[in-house]
Amino acid sequence: MKRYTYYSVTRQGRKDARDWKWGFWPFLRVPKTPTPKKNEKSQALFEKEIVDSAQYTLASLAKKWKERDGKLKPDYCKASSVQAGAEKKLKKESEQAQSAVAELDSSKKKLEEMGMPSLHPKWATFWLILIGIAEFPLNSLVFAIFGSGKIETYIMASAMCIAIPLFAHFFGKALRQEIKTTIDKIILVGIPIIILGLLGGIAFIRAMYFESGSSLGLIGISISPQVLTILFMIINVALFFVATIIAYEASHPNHKTFMSVYKRHQEARGRLKKESGKAEKAFGEFEDADKNLARIRQEREKTHEAFKHQAEEIKANREYLIAAYRRANIQLRNETPECFQKPPEIKIPEALIILDWDCRDKGVRESKS
């Protein structure tokens, strides 16, 4: 496949626009008609060459996607079938809990429409707690170097362990909201001021008590109060920033509505388990199948999106090269051929644009069996 560059297409544009060409011998200029002609309506030959190249590349990409999807779609359809079967079995064995099942389906669909946060709230809680735990030895060491007593060190370090992740949680959640309430705006302005004021105040007060250098006995390095102050600020600001990112990723843009639906969903799950003791096993199978389906669906969506993005880049690149060819051609001849009025038609294959979720085709049914 021929490789096209900005230089090669602009050179070809100027070459086509000339009204002469070099003769074979004795190397003199020979008159020729500029191409495309001014009244030419059909696509320029070189443009067609670029378009054909793009279509060939896109077709090859579509073929690669179909080969890749040859495994992804059957896996999805199989997981979808298993999930549907598990759901059907759950409903059959949970006649006394039909209202809970209906609520579960309704809230689940609503959650799918709203979309889940990038980071699950449980994982966010785990990482925030971990950051809080990690802060304790770091801040304890800094407070100890500052000269604090053992009890005072533990109290202040514990307070920082709680305050930093907690403030980061509220700040990240407020920052994530699409429509910010007055409280969110107050949090976004107030928390950074409180954090910096708290850290700066503690560091300043400790620095006031110790004008002479302190020694880090464990590694034998002499550290001044000013360096300790900077170290204390950097550690806690960095941890606050990391905790804020975690809280941001674990929050939904419409947190209040999302939490309401999520709580309703969790309550429906709880009611279903409580009211349907006989369906407990079926419920476990349904949950496993549902999680597996969500994982496979997400993998297929992400893979298709990557192929689609690549196709769009190919199309954009070829359109850019055609535009460069036309500019070079027009600049040399000072006239615009009629065919240049039409935009180039590079079509991305439908398979790379629309992701087919229909599992009723023969090939998929055969893959299930």
pLDDT in tens, 18-63: 877 877 776 777 778 888 988 888 889 999 999 999 999 999 999 9
pLDDT in the model for residue 304? 96
User: Is residue 100 one of the residues assigned to a domain?
Assistant: no
Residues 158 and 73 in one domain: no
Residues 130 and 38 in one domain: no
Least Cα distance to 58 among 279, 258, 345 occurs for: 345
User: Is residue 290 one of the residues assigned to a domain?
Assistant: no
Choosing from 234, 251, 268, the residue where a domain stops is 251
User: Is residue 240 one of the residues assigned to a domain?
Assistant: yes
Residues 125 and 240 in one domain: yes
Q: What pTM was computed for the model?
A: 0.49
User: Is residue 112 one of the residues assigned to a domain?
Assistant: no
Residues 321 and 362 in one domain: yes
Residues 60 and 134 in one domain: no
Number of domains composing the chain = 2
Choosing from 251, 272, 307, the residue where a domain stops is 251
Tell me the β-bridge partners of 30.
21
Choosing from 236, 251, 266, the residue where a domain stops is 251
Residues 78 and 125 in one domain: no
User: Is residue 264 one of the residues assigned to a domain?
Assistant: no
> At CB < 8 A and 24+ separation, what contacts does 81-88 make?
81/359, 81/368, 82/289, 82/292, 82/293, 83/286, 83/289, 83/290, 83/292, 83/293, 85/289, 86/282, 86/285, 86/286, 86/288, 86/289, 86/290, 87/286, 87/289, 87/290
User: Is residue 282 one of the residues assigned to a domain?
Assistant: no
Q: Residue 183 belongs to what domain range?
A: 121-251
Residues 82 and 180 in one domain: no
pLDDT in the model for residue 368? 37
Residues 62 and 134 in one domain: no
Residues 187 and 305 in one domain: no
Which pair of tokens denotes residue 138? 């770091």
Q: Do residues 313 and 21 touch, judged by C-beta distance below 8 A?
A: no
Residues 145 and 187 in one domain: yes
User: Is residue 155 one of the residues assigned to a domain?
Assistant: yes
Residues 53 and 131 in one domain: no
Instruction: Report how far residue 215's alpha carbon sits from residue 231's, in angstroms, rounded to the nearest whole number.
Output: 14
Residues 73 and 125 in one domain: no
DSSP 4: -
User: Is residue 106 one of the residues assigned to a domain?
Assistant: no
Ranges of the chain with pLDDT below 50: 211-221, 362-369
